[in-house]
Structure 1
Amino acid sequence: MPFPSTPALLAVTGASGKTGWRVVQEARRRGYSVRAILRPGSNVPEGLEGAELIRLELSDQSALQQALAGVEALVIATGARPSIDLTGPLQVDALAIRSQIAACRAAGVKRVVLVSSLCSGRLFHPLNLFGLILIWKRVGERWLESSGLDWTVIRPGGLRESEEGLEREGLRFSGPDQQESNSIPRRLVARVCLDAVEAPASIGRLIEITSSQDLPPSSLAQWLEGAAGASPARA
């Protein structure tokens, strides 16, 4: 059964992506009802069983608003992939975020967790060779921050596919622009996103996360408790 603070219905955009389907799967394990939102042409990966699947373009405001009707929280797991189309990051990491914000407002969805990236907003970074991806991610973050919604931004480090030894991975949490590198399994990112949905103390925070087997066990709740005396940090 869900935790007492768990919304009855959670939506996940980018649900066919490598992080998105894990968010859906972890949410189902926690007892959420999940509305998985996918692009029309995307393949349906394993892991979406039990979720309601909705296909739409994020630029279709009417369809997106309808898909978010009755939803109590949204996890945005969309993200541009390296491509010869250098406008992809602008479209996916900025303009699509604005579309989702507008749809949330229209549908009455207040709680939003966005999966972004470590080093978001940094100009001099190799990832920016792919259409200034980190610059556009920061634009999307800023739009969410000024949206009036109850937002949390999760900035993971390099994303790992492997799920071996997850129980031995310790998490490192920080405020914005505190971590430079290191990585984290996508599965742990998915779990932290849901922890953030369930933690009111994460609202209004940019949270960077990486992991290592050299770190002691830690949780978002523990980190938030230690950070309770500080104002929500924004870059």
Structure 2
Amino acid sequence: MTDPRAKGVVAVSGASGKTGWRVVQEALKRGYRVRALLRPSSAVPEGLKGADLIRLELSDGPALEKALQGVEALVIATGARPSIDLSGPLKVDALAMRSQIAACQASGVKRAVLVSSLCSGRLFHPLNLFGLILIWKRLGERWLQESGLDWTVVRPGGLKESEEQLESEGLRFSGPDQQESNSIPRRLVARVCLDALEQPAAIGRIIEVTSSPELESIQLSEWLQHEATPARA
């Protein structure tokens, strides 16, 4: 018997990362079939249980196109990790965006949600000591905005590993370049990505999000109802 909750197929790149595997988990909970894209050398987190695992390099265009065949949407949770290789952010946050966009276009995937970062594009910021990461993140965002895909960029604040008392955290949403600090648990970022995927009003928007127990609880759909024109390229 077909599961009445079953939805379409969602792919998640960067699925072995700390945010990526949580996106996979949350998508599975909502009834999506999930293709978890991870590098050949990546360890497999327990959180990927139940997803179809596909190992590939994001620079391998044909393999990426094949992995996205029949997929309705791609959540891009790739991100450079701290390393002595200062070219990492350029490779992961910018150049890998190009290959993922091209694969979406070639395989017919129209919907894409990108996990970026608060302060994306800002030059004078401590995070840029790690290979100008915020500059390359903004370039990746721009390429997505100009891609012709139905895009959403989610810019979370500082990412926390905590899984406790999540329901007590209120979310603060804003448009681009309106928040500069504060943090948010990765689990809540994953949920916001899935909420954005399910909200047509989120298409063409850059959405900044942080959380705090002191904030009033609000859903993304509520915030979108009160927002003005999307921030298209």
Q: TM-score, normalised by structure 2?
A: 0.97
Number of residue pairs aligned between Structure 1 and Structure 2? 231
Please give the residue correspondences for 1:1-235 in structure 2 after superposition, counting only pairs within 5 Å: 7-227=7-227, 230-233=228-231
Give, in whole Å, the separation in 1 of the partners of 2:125 and 2:188.
Answer: 25
Give 3-state SS (helix, strand or coil) of 1:24's partner: helix
Contact 2:7 2:31 in 1 (8 A): no
Contact 1:78 1:92 in 2 (8 A): yes
What per-residue deviation string (whole Å, max 9, x for no partner) do you get for residues 124-154 of structure 1?
A: 0000000000000000000000000000000
Give 3-state SS (helix, strand or coil) of 2:46's partner: coil
Aligned-residue offset at 1:7: 4.9
Aligned-residue offset at 1:233: 2.4
Contact 1:7 1:73 in 2 (8 A): no
RMSD over equivalenced CA pairs, Å: 1.2
Give, in whole Å, the separation in 1 of the partners of 2:60 and 2:175.
Answer: 34
Indicate the percent of aligned positions where both proteins have the same amino acid: 78
Aligned-residue offset at 1:163: 1.1
The one-letter code matched in structure 1 to 2:15 is A
Contact 1:37 1:53 in 2 (8 A): yes
Give 3-state SS (helix, strand or coil) of 1:36's partner: strand
Contact 2:121 2:134 in 1 (8 A): yes
Question: Residues 205 and 45 (structure 1 numbering): CA distance in 2 closer, same or farther, change over 3 Å?
Answer: same
The one-letter code matched in structure 1 to 2:61 is Q
Give, in whole Å, the separation in 1 of the partners of 2:177 and 2:217.
Answer: 22
Give 3-state SS (helix, strand or coil) of 2:11's partner: strand
Contact 1:162 1:185 in 2 (8 A): yes
Aligned-residue offset at 1:110: 0.1
Give, in whole Å, the separation in 2 of the partners of 1:190 and 1:39.
Answer: 20
| Runs of 5+ unmatched residues, structure 1 | none
What per-residue deviation string (whole Å, max 9, x for no partner) do you get for residues 23-82 of structure 1?
A: 000000000000000000000001111100000000000000000000000000000011
Give, in whole Å, the separation in 2 of the partners of 1:47 and 1:57.
Answer: 21
The one-letter code matched in structure 2 to 1:232 is P
Give, in whole Å, the separation in 2 of the partners of 1:47 and 1:123.
Answer: 35
Give, in whole Å, the separation in 1 of the partners of 2:47 and 2:83.
Answer: 26
Contact 1:7 1:72 in 2 (8 A): no
Give, in whole Å, the separation in 2 of the partners of 1:170 and 1:113.
Answer: 22
Question: Residues 7 and 31 (structure 1 numbering): CA distance in 2 closer, same or farther, change over 3 Å?
Answer: closer
Give, in whole Å, the separation in 2 of the partners of 1:66 and 1:234.
Answer: 29
Give, in whole Å, the separation in 2 of the partners of 1:189 and 1:209.
Answer: 8
Contact 1:184 1:211 in 2 (8 A): yes
Give 3-state SS (helix, strand or coil) of 2:153's partner: strand
Give, in whole Å, the separation in 2 of the partners of 1:143 and 1:219.
Answer: 28
Aligned-residue offset at 1:223: 0.4
Give 3-state SS (helix, strand or coil) of 1:208's partner: strand
